[in-house]
Structure 1
């Protein structure tokens, strides 16, 4: 019979040895962990050296990553002696410290696409979002992203919309999806259909419309009705599709009423969404991976990408660039807008404040340029903002080290693709975005839709050197400026 005292002290010894070995085992000895969680294959690195590989299982298990993520997982570890030890672990927090990017430099490897079973549920069910109305192109792209998430959530094929050109009347200057984004790549993400095919399948009458004002607590009904008439006229003009008379439309005045309108369309084959930005406040479930997949596939046309690649080899002798987007409506209005001719004392103070902010941003960019061995600063501005002024303010601080360039310098390279569109603000803006998307460092304005599109894109592609002037530079104050 075993001596109880011997057994007792042996157990204590085992516990003590286990406590000493635990951090070694889980931080150094084990070389692999496998989790079945995400909708596509990816690699993350948690802790100091534990490698985590994720395998495809389907959308219902999708997890969004925001610096760290909780997983229900089975952890399989392989010690250095090649014997296998399996532990069933409950909820485990893993910090994302490194991205693995085997294709198109996306942070989670192969970009997320809508799974086959969900694509089947989306067939013969369509969502057409009218994004072509008030606001510039990037406001329309913002609405497109909202519509994409709703199409995925509601199991619907997305009708590819068209966009409105820069500063043209409502009925003029329309640009197709195909002229803006690469349709072949986007179709890898989710099922889509053209506006013409939508008309063939759903016209000439559609009775299911969802429309909601983002400011429902301050709704002014006549403004909503006027907006609806404008959008329904556009749908009729472009697609020859009649939407319901305004008297038949429910204008929700609360979030609950908005969901009720959405629920009523769940079984409809064809749905029109008016002004998707009104639904921006809605937080749809399981959208984190959809958001990454959307950004990874919503890429610009091959023409723009080829032009940008060529330009970057010549612009700074092939050296890395720092992209800077400056958008400030105060400067636009005071310099060339309706306040320019007015004897408005506000502009003197506001412009002086604005100049100070540009110079302080320039100081940050000078430091970042030294850290990242930047060859040039590329400044993208709204066409209304005088580029020479912004360049002058930055150069006063950087002393032209690095050199400060704009789209004018790009045009002077006489790239044949750029020469064709040099007077087209829509194309030029897209080219500036592509250059900033590929820059080693990007500094943007968080309140601008132009910058926000790039923040999302660069995050999806794992380009971490991205800074929001309104958030990441705490010494700057924007209380007296609006963007």
Structure 2
């Protein structure tokens, strides 16, 4: 080899070393602390949607941002549903629905950290998981991590016994591209390729070994195929710990499983915390498939008119009246009597609000066992102006969405999200998720307990 060739190789090695040291320095815990304190200060605020007229209810579809591509520093890692087991089970109910491809994006950085949100408690419905997932997004933003998009578990799986039929993939629920405008994201399959039980730690606040081991063994190991470490790798953060403390704990940790069932115990100003949660709420938009379906549906809900959406759920009658428990007839009768009285108060308040706002039509989202509210509202409003899921007209291509209670719930949430006014149930994660998404874009919300002036001593399970 000539002197010139040796010289060229030597200079290439020196250049590579300099670049490597620069990357290492910019991703050190100290520099990440600087980066993420700036995240707290400069996290994106909700966008001004006033540039578009929108529909009669003022709804404006989410604006699309930049296109994710290798040129912009993001790489498409996989397409299709998150895992084959879930895809197979889901295909049975949505085979007629065209599913947009899942753009699994992340940054190609050898020091990139991955955060996988996990359940560490068996109970909780899907909307409870959605609310907790928001905190995992905030955690990923603060720690400059790639967020792994987890599957969600259907309500009741902890009672019936979780199987693949109780799991729904992330991209069937939320708009992946829109979330990826906020932070880097990756699929569960990619996490499996990168992370093992040997290089993953489990973190959170007040996570118990008993709950973690049960969840790890049954949900993630047996059903999803993610081999999580033993509870020896469990690290609980102190409540009120600083971001610096967390970054120090996560130093050189590439794979992190974060308990979604923990509170977000980081010591950051409440105003900044709420600002970040609001921004996350704005970016958790329902999947394109759901939004396309509601595009077809919304024109059939009081055409050319504004509408109010009302979520009605009474939890006090669910157990004794509808879930097949024995010897509770007296309890059921008592609960129904109280609920009917509360339904009258609620219907009066909602119909008065509609009159004040000059709104003729209402969409009522409620479980099948709570449809009595429709009869109560019909005493005050023309029945033809009251819409429920059975009244929705939808093309055959989207019909499977209404036949599946998980996707029907998402459809109804999108209908409520687009309404001119939304009246939330008293205590409900379903309502909270819709209200927070609407609040992020400046939409009007009411809570039925406040609107109907329900006394504080009335059990929150009643209304």
What is the TM-score when the length of structure 1 is the normalising length? 0.68
Confirm whether residue 406 of structure 1 aligns to residue 385 of structure 2: no
What residue in structure 2 maps to residue 151 of structure 1?
140
Contact kept, 8 Å, 1:374 with 1:402, in 2: the verdict is no
What residue in structure 1 maps to residue 306 of structure 2?
320
Confirm whether residue 420 of structure 1 aligns to residue 436 of structure 2: no
What SS does the aligned partner of 1:323 have?
strand
What does the per-residue CA deviation read over 1:448-483, in whole Å, with 9 as the maximum and x for residues that have no partner? 10000011011012212x101234443444623417
| 1:131 CA displacement | 3.9
Residue of structure 2 aligned with 1:347, choices 332, 343, 357? 332
Residue of structure 2 aligned with 1:469, choices 443, 448, 460? 448
Contact kept, 8 Å, 2:39 with 2:141, in 1: the verdict is no
| 1:335 CA displacement | 2.1
Contact kept, 8 Å, 1:128 with 1:160, in 2: the verdict is yes
- In the alignment of these two chains, the number of paired residues is 373
Residue of structure 2 aligned with 1:183, choices 176, 187, 197? 176
| 1:420 CA displacement | 2.2
What does the per-residue CA deviation read over 1:319-372, in whole Å, with 9 as the maximum and x for residues that have no partner? 222111112210212321355x42454433332221111111111111121123
What does the per-residue CA deviation read over 1:271-308, in whole Å, with 9 as the maximum and x for residues that have no partner? 1112x231245564433443232222211122211221
| 1:239 CA displacement | 5.9
What residue in structure 2 maps to residue 29 of structure 1?
none
Distance 1:399 1:310 in 2: 25
Confirm whether residue 361 of structure 1 aligns to residue 353 of structure 2: no
Residue of structure 2 aligned with 1:265, choices 250, 253, 274? 250
What residue in structure 1 maps to residue 162 of structure 2?
170
What SS does the aligned partner of 2:277 have?
helix
What SS does the aligned partner of 1:437 have?
helix
Contact kept, 8 Å, 1:357 with 1:476, in 2: the verdict is no
What residue in structure 1 maps to residue 374 of structure 2?
391
Distance 1:153 1:60 in 2: 7
Confirm whether residue 138 of structure 1 aligns to residue 127 of structure 2: yes
Contact kept, 8 Å, 1:324 with 1:379, in 2: the verdict is yes
What residue in structure 2 maps to residue 200 of structure 1?
193
Which 10-residue stretch deviates more, 298-307 or 453-462?
Answer: 298-307
| 1:241 CA displacement | 4.4
Residue of structure 2 aligned with 1:228, choices 204, 212, 215? 212
Distance 1:63 1:150 in 2: 13
What residue in structure 1 maps to residue 239 of structure 2?
255
Shift in CA distance, 299/479, structure 1 to aligned 2, threshold 3 Å:
same
Distance 2:300 2:239 in 1: 52
Contact kept, 8 Å, 1:126 with 1:159, in 2: the verdict is yes
What SS does the aligned partner of 1:128 have?
strand
Residue of structure 2 aligned with 1:459, choices 424, 439, 463? 439
Distance 1:349 1:460 in 2: 39
Residue of structure 1 aligned with 2:318, choices 310, 332, 337? 332
Contact kept, 8 Å, 1:149 with 1:291, in 2: the verdict is yes
Q: How big is the alpha-carbon RMSD for the aligned residues of Structure 1 and Structure 2?
A: 3.5
Contact kept, 8 Å, 1:377 with 1:405, in 2: the verdict is yes
Residue of structure 1 aligned with 2:115, choices 121, 127, 135? 127
Contact kept, 8 Å, 1:377 with 1:402, in 2: the verdict is no
What residue in structure 2 maps to residue 293 of structure 1?
279
What SS does the aligned partner of 2:285 have?
coil
Contact kept, 8 Å, 1:308 with 1:431, in 2: the verdict is yes
Confirm whether residue 372 of structure 1 aligns to residue 376 of structure 2: no
Confirm whether residue 62 of structure 1 aligns to residue 42 of structure 2: yes
Confirm whether residue 160 of structure 1 aligns to residue 149 of structure 2: yes
Shift in CA distance, 121/147, structure 1 to aligned 2, threshold 3 Å:
farther
Q: Note the residue ranges of structure 2 that are not aligned, 5 or more in a row.
A: 1-37, 67-71, 74-105
Shift in CA distance, 347/236, structure 1 to aligned 2, threshold 3 Å:
closer
What residue in structure 1 maps to residue 294 of structure 2?
308
Contact kept, 8 Å, 2:401 with 2:407, in 1: the verdict is yes
What SS does the aligned partner of 1:209 have?
strand
Give 1 or 2: higher helix fraction.
Answer: 2
Distance 2:381 2:433 in 1: 30
Shift in CA distance, 239/203, structure 1 to aligned 2, threshold 3 Å:
farther
What SS does the aligned partner of 1:333 have?
helix
What does the per-residue CA deviation read over 1:86-144, in whole Å, with 9 as the maximum and x for residues that have no partner? xxxxxxxxxxxx9763368899x98999xx99x98997111111148522110111121
Confirm whether residue 246 of structure 1 aligns to residue 231 of structure 2: yes
Shift in CA distance, 239/201, structure 1 to aligned 2, threshold 3 Å:
farther
Q: Note the residue ranges of structure 1 that are not aligned, 5 or more in a row.
A: 1-57, 67-97, 215-223
What residue in structure 2 maps to residue 212 of structure 1?
205
Give 1 or 2: higher strand fraction.
Answer: 1
Distance 2:454 2:401 in 1: 39
